[in-house]
Chain A
């Protein structure tokens, strides 16, 4: 299995520009998570989807952030407009939820975002 695939791996952009991060979860997984990791705040859950439906977006920092999952094999996280404080590593993770059992999450390699 290829694992969780994220693109791009690195992104450098200027303040005010739109940034789109992409994720392909592991085939057959039905839950997808977007995280942000910084030195100051550690790993933070931004939003997660179950069966392509957003379940909890309470971690999304503000309206500049939006996430979509149009189908089971693709998700995007968009920042518009981007700001320097958005600089971080963004991880996508996927899992297979079975009934009420807590699932194991598998992480992608991350996208390193730098907003100048």
Chain B
């Protein structure tokens, strides 16, 4: 079993749809959870950052962490064609970046 699992997609949705992206993990020591967006031929850029369990909202994006289920989600409301990218979850136990693990990424296409 991989340490972090993520459905690779591709996921295609119509413009305006609500998108749900998910990751599961096996290491209960993870405390920091991040979502990165990576456009084609670009480096990943940080979208959301959360610590421990709970929800965090930033504009059209909401990140949820359920540590009891070892499950994290990213919701995108009113999706736009510009949201088309690969979304990578990442997580860490802390400690100076040690054990910083990325999921394989989900490729999202938002169709106009």
Contacts and interface: CB of A to CB of B under 8 A. Distances in A.
Asked if A and B bind, the verdict is yes
Interface of A: 4, 31, 33, 42-45, 48, 50, 55-56, 91, 93, 95, 97, 100, 102-110
Given A42-B104, A43-B88, A104-B49, A109 B43 contact: yes
Say whether chain B's binding surface is mostly helix, strand, loop, or mixed.
Answer: loop
Interface of B: 31-32, 34, 41-46, 49, 51, 88, 92, 94, 96-98, 100-105
Contacts of A33: 97, 100
Contacts of A48: 97
Say whether chain A's binding surface is mostly helix, strand, loop, or mixed.
Answer: strand
A5 B76 CA distance: 30
Contacts of B101: 45
Nearest to B102: A43
B42 A42 contact: no
A45 B43 contact: no
